Structure 1
């Protein structure tokens, strides 16, 4: 049996990245109806380049479904530091999903959960018999790396990727994928706005995990730690465990996506028809990276 190669796309990460990459000079690419389309355009540039580069046989796009999730219920400060999305981006949330649908790529998301949780669930659902690649700019997803699951981190610049797998992970991060969760528990995450243990930064957290392995072992051996570190842990013990819980991606979300429904089968005429409604020039250039993959058979 031929092993399938599944690309799981962090849709919101690509859309936000694309929006801000093209809008910093006020380039919102309004169509004749006054709807901005710049984020969707750059999203597709990222998507087509990744499909060209990694040649998946199947593609799924996962989305956040609102700002309220089970994590905000656990900790009301979770992501509370983030501004409202720019008004020019809001109409592009639905628009980008319509464009993704024109490629016959499933859009997957579930209220109360994040796209990360959906990707973690699907990755673990598919990986026993398939190679899974997760495309994002979010390093929280690195905790998902294991046998047959790779995480592709988008770096600055078009087509600049760093791929993490089980063989190169320790060399790159000096930790195992599972320890990424405990790292965030100790040091917190300023982007997601949870604090971890006050006074413990990345350098100290990394050293502690390299010595003790896990937060549980660290706490069990707390008397072996310097007094200053002991005091910090004891003061913020509840937040330590809460931060670890917030950092962990759920891989048992009640979603499903039949692999056959995500088969990459690019139909140029259907996609071009959808994109023409956005009034973009040079749609052929946008689709050029994937045209040579329309007849790939898996």
Structure 2
């Protein structure tokens, strides 16, 4: 049987990175637009990357996952501080998101929004379903390291670093961190995440969080053994005791959901990639963009 590859794209991660990379030190007036005034600086990056990923990784199945509005996520509803420090998005980025979702629909590319869940949870649920129901590979495209908890022998993450991309596998992860991917959420529970306003354990930083989980496996076992904590970690004992509640809330917030009920009856064949060249060409022409898809110039 032919090898199949599912590609799951964290849509806003890619779109926003494309936007801020091309908008750096520019006013909104300096951003590229169509003759009709539609902004396209982030769209160019998004489509070029999308086509390169499809061509370069033998993609047979594809889905782009989008977040719901920040205030409507299940995490934010329960904990109002979650992601509360994030700034409002620039108007040209919002416009390009709206343009993009319409064009992807016209091209027949699967987009998934599942309220009140975040894109990470959609990716977690789909990757888990794919690896439990097939023996094929799943690729996650995102620079969000929270997603490393999803890695397994079939699932890898494509991470962009220093102008090159790495297909980061479970073996890479184990070699770099000395733990299994399922333990990554425990490291995050101790470290927290400033960008998401996840508190972690105050006073426990990068140098101690990973060694603690390497030794104690997870935060549950760490707190069970806190009275007999290894003397080399004694300086963190008081901080851990005081931060216990914060750690468990942080673990809850950092844990990606892998079984959103709507996917219980979802047919993975619905994600099969079937893009018509004609639709791609029409979309690129409308955006006044020229690029290659499957070796053919479009737009």
User: Structure 2 length normalisation: TM-score?
Assistant: 0.90
CA contact (8 A) 2:5 2:61 kept: yes
Q: 249-258 or 202-211, which moves further after superposition?
A: 249-258
**Helix, strand or coil for the counterpart of 1:277?**
helix
Distance 2:40 2:295 in 1: 23
Q: How does 1:40-79 map to 2 (within 5 A)?
A: 40-68=43-71, 69-79=73-83
CA contact (8 A) 2:177 2:210 kept: no
How far is the alpha carbon of 1:152 from its aligned partner?
1.4
Q: 233-242 or 99-108, which moves further after superposition?
A: 99-108
CA contact (8 A) 2:109 2:275 kept: no
Q: Deviations over 1:254-283 (max 9, x none)?
A: 334533222223321111112222223xx2
**Helix, strand or coil for the counterpart of 2:117?**
coil
1:287 to 274, 281, 292: 292
Gaps (5+ residues) in structure 1? 293-298
1:37 to 37, 40, 43: 40
**Equivalent residue pairs, number:** 285
How far is the alpha carbon of 1:221 from its aligned partner?
0.7
Q: How does 1:91-170 map to 2 (within 5 A)?
A: 91-128=95-132, 129=134, 130-157=136-163, 160-170=164-174
Match of 2:262 in 1: 255
**Alpha-carbon RMSD:** 1.6
Q: 102-111 or 181-190, which moves further after superposition?
A: 102-111
Gaps (5+ residues) in structure 2? none
Matched, 1:207 2:211: yes
Match of 1:271 in 2: 280
Distance 2:196 2:118 in 1: 12
How far is the alpha carbon of 1:85 from its aligned partner?
0.4
How far is the alpha carbon of 1:50 from its aligned partner?
1.6
CA contact (8 A) 2:67 2:119 kept: yes
Q: Deviations over 1:196-254 (max 9, x none)?
A: 10000011001111111111111011012344312111111111100001000001123
Q: 265-274 or 139-148, which moves further after superposition?
A: 265-274
How far is the alpha carbon of 1:25 from its aligned partner?
4.0
CA contact (8 A) 1:104 1:262 kept: no
Distance 2:102 2:269 in 1: 20
Distance 1:227 1:57 in 2: 52
Higher helix share: 2
CA contact (8 A) 2:107 2:283 kept: no
